[in-house]
Amino acid sequence: MTDTAPHDYDVLIIGAGINGAGLFRDLCEQGLRCLIVDKGDFGSGTSAAPSRLIHGGLKYLETGEFRLVAESTYERNLLLRNAPHLVTPLPTIIPIYSWTNGIWPAIRTFFGSKTAPRSRGAVLIKIGLKLYDFYGSRARQMPRHKMLSRKRALSEIPALNPDIVAVGTYHDAAVSAPERLVLELVQDGVAANDSSAALNWTSVESQVGGVVHLSGPEGTRMAIRPKIVVNAAGPWIDRVNASLGMNTSLIGGTKGSHILIDHPELLKQLQGRMIYFESNDGRILLVFPYLGKALVGSTDIPDSDPDNAVCSDDETSYFLRSLAELLPGLAFDRDQIVYSYAGIRPLPNSEGVAPGLISRDHSAPFEAAGPGRPFPVISLVGGKWTTFRAFAADVANTILGHLEHSRRIQTDALPIGGGRDMPQAADDRAVWVAGLAQQSGARPERTAELLERYGTTALQIGLQEGTAPVFIGATTFSEAEIGWIARNEKVQHLEDVLLRRTQLAITGQLTEEIIEHICKVTGNALEWSDARRQSELNSARKTLAEKHGIELLQK
């Protein structure tokens, strides 16, 4: 298909990761006609590769980024309210190996030293946690920190390194399905303004005379004439700007890798808590329970190749070695790994600064219209997963001012997707679950499972599923559920379902039989030919093997 006459939009957003999706929703709520596009699936780039934490940034206190910590803790608290089906509290402990170490290095870092502090002692941790409590008091959702004795810590986690002198405890939060949160933001935007649209697997080809040419699935092409363009392409920002006729060097990314391990004894000792710990080389790592597995991360290595980011053998060895040092009472090996992933953080170009000290704050350089490009371009640089809403609000205000359009609604208290009308109290949830069970004929245990997975969107899925769901292999995902996802959540490829609409891949549940079953259900829903189904299976197998270390035996 060739380009048709240009479609007019107020704003074209390039990149449907968390920052682009958050901005899309905000602008649609204000009544602007927006189009968001992504060269892959929604949330399939860097936004699919976080540590799955929603956190205030405790370590940013060391670099004096108090405004960022205040913003992050506030946004964390809002997400616990606005997306309770996806974001939940995460109790956390910090092992401490001395009483006073790290004070002078921390002071040097605070005043601009480019090397990170090492071996943070109890005094330093205590000061940091008190400050963290202070900044987290706005819209507070969780309890304040505590310090526990060595004896108490070792009684609760016997495998912990006995060299500790104490542990600090505090709360942050985790997101169970970051890719789904991105999708729900996009869906909320389209629902708020039916003149807006969202396209995945759609690339920017060129810009000529103010018209941006797009290439979509199966050879489709589209021409867009925007009043303003937002480049939210993350680590691909400079490449996208080049396609718009601009020469920029805004990004100096770092790679963050993670692994998921199947380790029942580790989960038993964690008891739902995260351990936020310092490795022997001074880097901060974490391990916490994630959907029945243990998630371990993250590295922070300079890298500028987002299309080929994978967790390397060296990084895997580093994780396993660090875990063994943290928990010498447990055994760790590569056979326990069920999944790995990596992404490039879109951090600002910061040559000469240690990767861990590069600011996670956000900025939005504004490039005015020029010859051959009659629209301005705003590039979204940096930022944290947690602060996407605040970043979006700042940029939205800039765009609204440029277009002389007033803000209609603030987004602080705006629920996200299935978080809308989500019952909060246990009694209210029980009533909701019983109601859906009565309507659908399903067991209450099943409706509770759907509510936890999808929030109030579970109502639509539960009614579709009915009384006798047919489950896919040994999973808790049903044929009706996968079919509903395929028809209603802009699925273009099998990997969209395996990697992002469900958590089957990351939790190590996939087998050859399961992906074939899911392909059959998805293909039926989307009317794929036999050849298309085989192509999707081959492509999914390749992605799982090359990007995530999952080898599936073919029949």
Between 157 and 303, residue with greater pLDDT: 157
Predicted local distance difference test score (pLDDT) of residue 294: 98
Predicted local distance difference test score (pLDDT) of residue 101: 74
Q: Is the peptide bond before 298 cis (omega within 30 degrees of 0)?
A: yes
| Segment among 282-286, 308-312, 331-335, 482-486 with least mean pLDDT | 282-286
For the segment 404-419, the average pLDDT, to the nearest whole number, is 97
pLDDT band, residue 179 (cuts 50/70/90)? very high
Q: Check the CA dihedral 277-53-128-252 and report its sign.
A: positive
The DSSP secondary-structure symbol of 414 reads -
Residue 209 buriedness (CB in 10 A; 0-12 / 13-18 / 19+): exposed
* pLDDT tens-digit readout, 272-317: 999 999 888 878 899 999 999 999 999 988 888 999 999 999 999 9
For the segment 228-257, the average pLDDT, to the nearest whole number, is 93
Predicted local distance difference test score (pLDDT) of residue 105: 61
pLDDT band, residue 512 (cuts 50/70/90)? very high
Predicted local distance difference test score (pLDDT) of residue 116: 55
Tokens of 468: 């006798």
d(CA 350, CA 336): 36
Contact 443, 478 (CB under 8 A): no
Between 56 and 86, residue with greater pLDDT: 86
Mode of pairing for the β-strands spanning 146-149 and 166-175: antiparallel
For the segment 457-484, the average pLDDT, to the nearest whole number, is 95
Predicted local distance difference test score (pLDDT) of residue 36: 98
Amino acid at 92: T
d(CA 213, CA 189): 23
Predicted local distance difference test score (pLDDT) of residue 354: 56
For the segment 23-41, the average pLDDT, to the nearest whole number, is 98
* pLDDT tens-digit readout, 353-382: 555 555 557 789 999 999 899 999 999 998
Predicted local distance difference test score (pLDDT) of residue 110: 59
d(CA 399, CA 377): 10
For the segment 260-270, the average pLDDT, to the nearest whole number, is 97
DSSP one-letter string for 281-316:
TS-EEEEEEETTEEEEE---EE---GGG----HHHH
Predicted local distance difference test score (pLDDT) of residue 252: 82
Other CB atoms within 10 Å distance of the CB of residue 51: 21
Tokens of 254: 């770092």
Is the pLDDT at 122 greater than 90? The verdict is no
Predicted local distance difference test score (pLDDT) of residue 253: 79
* pLDDT tens-digit readout, 53-67: 999 888 888 777 889
Contact 515, 543 (CB under 8 A): no
At how many degrees (to 10) do helices 18-29 and 388-402 cross? 50
Is the pLDDT at 176 greater than 90? The verdict is yes
The DSSP secondary-structure symbol of 6 reads P
For the segment 14-22, the average pLDDT, to the nearest whole number, is 97
| Segment among 215-219, 317-321, 531-535 with least mean pLDDT | 215-219
Tokens of 517: 């079953």
Contact 230, 11 (CB under 8 A): yes
From residue 343, how far is each of 53, 238, 305 by CA, in Å? 15, 17, 9
For the segment 393-398, the average pLDDT, to the nearest whole number, is 97
Contact 415, 456 (CB under 8 A): no
d(CA 376, CA 225): 12
For the segment 8-21, the average pLDDT, to the nearest whole number, is 98
Other CB atoms within 10 Å distance of the CB of residue 100: 11
Q: b/e for 388-425, b at 16 or more Cβ within 10 A?
A: bbbbbbbbbeebbeeeeeeeeeebeebbbbbbbebbee
Residue 307 buriedness (CB in 10 A; 0-12 / 13-18 / 19+): exposed
Predicted local distance difference test score (pLDDT) of residue 555: 43
3-state DSSP assignment of residue 83: coil
Phi, psi (degrees; rounded to nearest 5) at 200: -100, 165
pLDDT band, residue 113 (cuts 50/70/90)? low
Is the pLDDT at 1 greater than 50? The verdict is no
